[in-house]
Chain A
């Protein structure tokens, strides 16, 4: 295992916020490792300045599966997700150590260029954030900057397929040149998904994509995730356990920066093996 940024020794003392005693409690239970993973993370630590946010997380994201990351607020699930396409690079003072590989390629390698990485690993954010431009421009921007389309008609094709895949085409095909910010919240989020799809990523990261949406819009996004699963690996962070149960095949439970338990979604929600997981999914805290 080659660490790219400085490896800090795992803390000898228990986590300061912990009321639960020894570090033993925080060792990952379950099948964190899958055969032939898309993304492979080993011993990932993340620091914000002096503060450690993620402790020694090892987790695989399989090919064409939806993995849900759940856990109470501040447990580090979003931080971990943002490591997977190096969005954390933009945060001042953020340091990642450990090993994250995409198709066997270390993404924190010095030779790794973040621009193609982010085209390969797309991300959808919590709050819909379309560019203040037209719907068409929103979707076409990615393919344009990456030079994915050589002709105008090719670009039009990409825009149309992306919007279709995001289930938005029928709703917006007559007003492609109106501002994307004029859509409803749910439509905006699907527009952001279309924008991500347009650059043909292999992995899509979703950071609580439905937390700002109403139940109907949420249901649409969940259906969409289910369809996208056939073509993309998807990692979704969610606050809603129901959502995790509905859309994912595997579920990872994070607690105070530690990965506590990973397993098949059904198993996590029916027979959790760790006491913390059980407490969380039965609603005892979180």
Chain B
């Protein structure tokens, strides 16, 4: 008895001696976890800071106020639509700086405002034909180099810091500034226009519309097909070598590089079926192929996680297999399926490589209105702008990334919300 007690005391001493070591290990593990999270948060913050820091200025655009005289003579022998609006803008500039002469200087003067300035004027006159004969105070977008200068991106040392603006142009801009004829305004063009070679006229809307149509096609095809495939494989298919083979193949497809799907789409949808190039319809089909495995795998996982007791309960009171699946298993698995689908969609939204293969990388100015219109998508737009030499495209690239990130955040938040909403506890 005594011996037993003493051995118990000995055991306790050993345990106590070991405690400090155990706690140390625990603290070490915790510290490493916190370090890992801290590091990832730091990089995330850096990423966001650099994108937002580069991109926020794209939401503003420099405008220049001009006094445009809508000379009735200019409209004399032509329709309102065909009048020479760029000419009127140039005339207004000449009148504002009467001392500028010589072809070279004049060209520099005209380059201060955007080449699309005449278009704004055009729109205003078309809306109000009675304006002809009057002198208008119009705000027209400045050229992208002027915009950069006004936003301060060209300040600094060295020759590069001047940008492409000449001493002459800088003088005019300073004069416009003192006359309060230069102003930074909210950049509506960025949200309403399609792509353009001129940064101040380029907008994200074409890419957003293209991404939207592409994702609609992807969602409409991949969700029902993916859920149906998962339901069949998980609930109805016999467990044999064929279903094993299918499962292995689906898992493999999920890991296939996306560009391969792009090549497949090029070969099958464009060359064999003759579908239009650069179209959201084809983009959606390709992304469907790419997203399906993800959705099937997530849906199957969601189905397996439905407790067997629910299946037994339904079967036990005489529900058929179909009723069991549709009334009980599917509603319980739906949150998981939706989450998987939205994550797949988010991946599809950010996908570039397969779309390059089917021609969605083209320079497309028009905002697409239909599934078969040529269009591009957000990530491809980012790629195209990042490739452009103009300094003003740098901030537009970052702004487009911000838009893409905003969409991703909205989609992932929707996934969390849907999961919370449909999740049932038992």
Interface residues, chain A, with chain B CB atoms under 8 Å away: 85, 87, 90, 92, 115-119, 122-125, 127, 129-132, 141-142, 145-146, 181, 192, 195-196, 198-199
Q: How far is the CA of A125 from the CA of B239 in the complex (A)?
A: 26
A243 to B239, CA, bound (A): 40
Q: Are B312 and A181 in contact (CB under 8 A)?
A: no
User: From residue B357, how far is it (CB to closest CB) to chain A in Å?
Assistant: 43
Known: A87-B312, A90-B312. A118 touches B317 (CB 8 A): yes
Q: Given contacts A145-B323, A181-B425, is CB(A119)–CB(B318) below 8 Å? A: yes
- B425 with A196: CB separation less than 8 A: no
Contact of A192 among B239, B313, B425 (CB under 8 A): B313
A116, A123, A145 — most chain B CB neighbours (10 Å): A145
Interchain CB contact under 8 A, A115 and B312: no
Contact with A along B284-315 (1 / 0, CB 8 A): 00000000000000000000000101111111
Check A181/B309 contact, CB under 8 A, given A118-B318, A119-B318, A196-B317. Answer: no
Which chain A positions have C-beta within 8 A of B318?
A: 115-119, 142, 145-146, 199
Shortest CB distance A154–B (Å) = 18
Instruction: Give the 10 A-B residue pairs with the shortest CB-CB distance, closest first.
Output: A119-B318, A129-B309, A118-B318, A132-B424, A142-B317, A123-B316, A129-B313, A132-B426, A181-B426, A115-B318
Within the complex, which residue of A90, A130, A192, A199 is in contact with B311, where a contact is CB–CB below 8 Å? A90
B315–A125 contact, CB under 8 A? no
Question: B419 interface residue, CB < 8 Å from A?
Answer: no
| Cα A90 to Cα B311 with chains together (Å) | 10
| Chain B residue contacts of A115, Cβ below 8 A | 318-320
Cβ-defined contact, A122 with B316, below 8 A = yes
B316 A85 Cβ-Cβ under 8 A: yes
Task: Find the B residue at minimum CB distance from A90.
Answer: B315
| A172 CB, nearest partner CB in chain B, Å | 17
* Residues from chain A with Cβ under 8 Å of B319 in the complex: 115, 141-142, 145
Q: Does B94 count as interface, using CB distance less than 8 angstroms?
A: no
Q: Tell whether, in the assembled complex, residue A130 and residue B313 are in contact, meaning their CB atoms are under 8 Å apart.
A: yes
- Of chain B, the residue at the smallest CB distance from A126 is B309
Most central of B307, B312, B318, B332 by chain A CB within 10 Å: B318
Interface readout for B231-251 with A: 1 if CB under 8 Å, 0 if not?
000000001000000000000
Residues of chain A within 8 A of B315, CB atoms compared:
87, 90, 118
Q: B424's closest neighbor in chain A, by CB? A: A132
The yes or no answer to B327 lying at the interface (CB within 8 A) is yes
Contacting residue for A125 out of B316, B332, B424, B426, CB 8 A? B316
Q: Which residues of B contact A131 (CB under 8 A)?
A: 310, 313-314, 328
Cross-chain pair count, CB within 8 angstroms: 69
Report whether A195 and B309 are in contact in the complex, using a CB–CB cutoff of 8 Å: no
CA distance A164 to B256 in the complex (A): 59
Complex: A195 Cα to B239 Cα, angstroms:
32
Complex interface: chain B residues within 8 A of A181 (CB): 424-426
- Supply 10 further A-B pairs (C-beta < 8 A) apart from A195-B317, A199-B317: A87-B315, A90-B315, A115-B318, A129-B307, A129-B312, A130-B426, A132-B332, A141-B314, A141-B319, A145-B319
Residues of A within 8 A of B314 (CB): 131, 141
Q: Which of A117, A132, A142, A181 has the most CB of B within 10 A?
A: A132
- Considering the complex, give the chain A residue whose CB is closest to the CB of B320: A115
CB-based contact A196/B316 at 8 Å? yes
CB nearest neighbor in A for B239: A92
User: B425 contacts A132, CB within 8 Å?
Assistant: yes
User: Can you identify 13 A-B contacts, CB atoms within 8 angstroms?
Assistant: A87-B312, A119-B317, A124-B316, A125-B316, A127-B309, A129-B312, A130-B313, A132-B310, A142-B319, A192-B313, A195-B313, A196-B317, A198-B317
Residues of the A chain whose Cβ atoms lie less than 8 Å from the Cβ of B327: 141, 145
Q: Are A125 and B312 in contact, CB atoms less than 8 angstroms apart?
A: yes
- Report A264 CB to chain B, min CB distance, Å: 29
In the bound complex, what is the Cα–Cα distance between A132 and B328 (angstroms)?
Answer: 9
With A and B bound together, what is the CA distance between A129 and B332 in angstroms? 14
Measured in the bound complex, the distance between the Cα atoms of B415 and A138 in whole Å is 29
Chain A residues whose CB sits within 8 angstroms of the CB of B312 once the complex forms: 87, 90, 123, 125, 129
Q: Which residues of A contact B313 (CB under 8 A)?
A: 125, 129-131, 192, 195
Give, as a whole number of angstroms, the nearest-CB distance from B336 to chain A.
14
Which B residue's beta carbon lies closest to that of A180? B426
- B333 nearest CB across to chain A (Å): 12
Distance between B304 CB and nearest chain A CB, rounded to angstroms: 14
Bound form: Cα–Cα A181–B323 in Å: 21
- Tell whether A125 pairs with B309 under 8 Å between CB atoms, given A92-B239, A132-B332, A145-B323: yes
Which residues of B sit under 8 angstroms from A118, Cβ to Cβ?
315-318
Q: What's the nearest-Cβ distance from chain B to residue A162, in Å?
A: 11
In the bound complex, residues from chain B placing their C-beta under 8 Å from that of A132 are 310, 332, 424-426
| Chain A residue at minimum C-beta to C-beta distance from B313 | A129
* B310 surroundings in chain A (CB, below 8 A): 129, 131-132
